[in-house]
Chains A and B, each alone.
Chain A
Amino acid sequence: MTVATETRVAELVKAYAGRPSELIQALHRVQSELGHVPQEAQAVVAAVVGVPLSQVRGVVTFYHFFRTSPVGRHTLRLCLGTACHVRGAENILKAIREELGVGLGETSADGAFTVEGVRCLGACGLAPVMMVDDDVYGKLDPKRTKRILRQIREGEG
């Protein structure tokens, strides 16, 4: 992280200076601006807000909402709810892993996809189902899943 970014983070959380009870708000502020809360930003937040480094890390890693790495250009939400589980969400996740090289909570090396597990998307009739950004893909099988991901990737280029 550059000095400029550090200054920017410090500026972002200025309102929470010396207010340890508002740590979560400070972290939200950083994430809404940067898209994630990198380690260097956590250190700045700790110093400004007045909370030990270990406690900032505790909060960032406890809540699923906070991310410590950048999000991909597309967000893939795979449903892990009951219906999708029964209809083989596990196999879809395996296909995603094979195609993108990453699993739940991770971002593919090319920065194209961030994979998240969610429950539930409210489309159980389409199980197993996933969303890529705002589009819903239902009745998935491993082969089709891989094809969809490839098409989205090609559509980018």
Chain B
Amino acid sequence: MINLRIDDVPAQAEPGQTILDAARAAGVRIPTLCHLEALCPVGACRLCLVEIRNWNGKLVPACATPAQEGLDVVANSDRLTSLRRTILELLFAERNHICAFCVSNGHCELQDLATELGMDHVTFPYRFPALALDASHAKFGIDHNRCVLCGRCVRACAEVEGAFTWGFAGRGVHTLVEADLGDRWGRSVTCTGCGKCVQACPTGALFEKGKITAEQEKRPALLAEITERRPRA
């Protein structure tokens, strides 16, 4: 057992567990967005940044940093809240996150995080890049304007479904989540139509057709439910 402190609360972790795992077990809340139980951590969104007191205040992503003996972790502070709020503002400014017009209004992790962290306005100019919406799939749609590039769909498709349909195309601010060789989703030769990506999506980027906003509730926990039931070697 590894012993550490998170927000001055004694916490424990098994070898191989992360700071985030330890914090959750100890009842300390750390906000996350790209992290999803059952998927490999990628540390992409940086919302789970925590400060390590005995590493000279170094900032590390809690979801991707292994718990280590004696760590003195700050998970919540004014500095961290300010950093997390800035990250959220950048996410909001990058594409189009006008909640009132979104299918996921009320069931959106990005929206919930903004509420939790008190992000009540965006200080950066909105980019509004006017990206495409692909509704070619029979059951689902993808609206790139709502995408935060967390990659949960990409990992769900690869790691749980094993289809590897989704991938990141392009780079930087122009990155898009695309199917196969950039074909329209409905024409994908590898998509099984399982919908795990939709359940994993934290925002309204991936949505189910024929559902109104009030019904557009996702089940991100579905992935862990699937993998936990799998036979173990």
Contact = CB atoms under 8 A, between A and B. Distances in A.
Interface stretch (A50-58, A84-92, A146-154): A50-58
Interface string A38-76: 010011000000001111111001100000000000000
- Which of under 10, 10 to 19, 20 to 34, or 35 or more describes the interface residues of B? 10 to 19
A123 to B, nearest CB: 28
Contacts of B72: none
Given A61-B169, A62-B171, A56 B181 contact: yes
A42 B168 contact: no
- Which of under 10, 10 to 19, 20 to 34, or 35 or more describes the interface residues of A? 10 to 19
A54 B171 contact: no
A54 B166 CA distance: 6
B170 A54 contact: no
Contacts of B170: 61-62
Interface string B156-194: 001000001111111100000011111000000110000
A53 B168 contact: no
A43 B171 contact: no
B164 A55 contact: yes
5 contacts: A43-B181, A52-B158, A53-B189, A53-B190, A55-B167
B181 A58 contact: no
A53 B164 CA distance: 8
Interface string B127-159: 000000000000000000000000000100010
B190 A39 contact: no
Contacts of B166: 54
A42 B171 CA distance: 18
A53 B187 CA distance: 13
Contacts of A54: 154, 164-167, 178-181, 190
B180 A57 contact: yes
Contact of B182 (A39, A55, A62): A39
Among the interface residues A43, A54, A55, which one has the most CB atoms of the partner chain B within 10 A?
A54
Interface string B91-102: 000000000000
A52 B182 contact: no
A58 B151 CA distance: 13
Nearest to B180: A53
In the A-B complex, the 9 residue pairs with the smallest Cβ-Cβ separation, listed nearest first, are A54-B167, A52-B164, A53-B180, A61-B169, A58-B167, A61-B170, A57-B181, A62-B171, A53-B181
Nearest to B167: A54
A53 B167 CA distance: 9
A139 to B, nearest CB: 32
Contacts of A52: 158, 164-165, 167, 190
A55 B166 CA distance: 8
A42 B190 CA distance: 15
A43 B188 CA distance: 12
B136 to A, nearest CB: 16
B134 to A, nearest CB: 15
A52 B158 CA distance: 9
B190 A57 contact: no
Contacts of B181: 39, 42-43, 53-54, 56-57
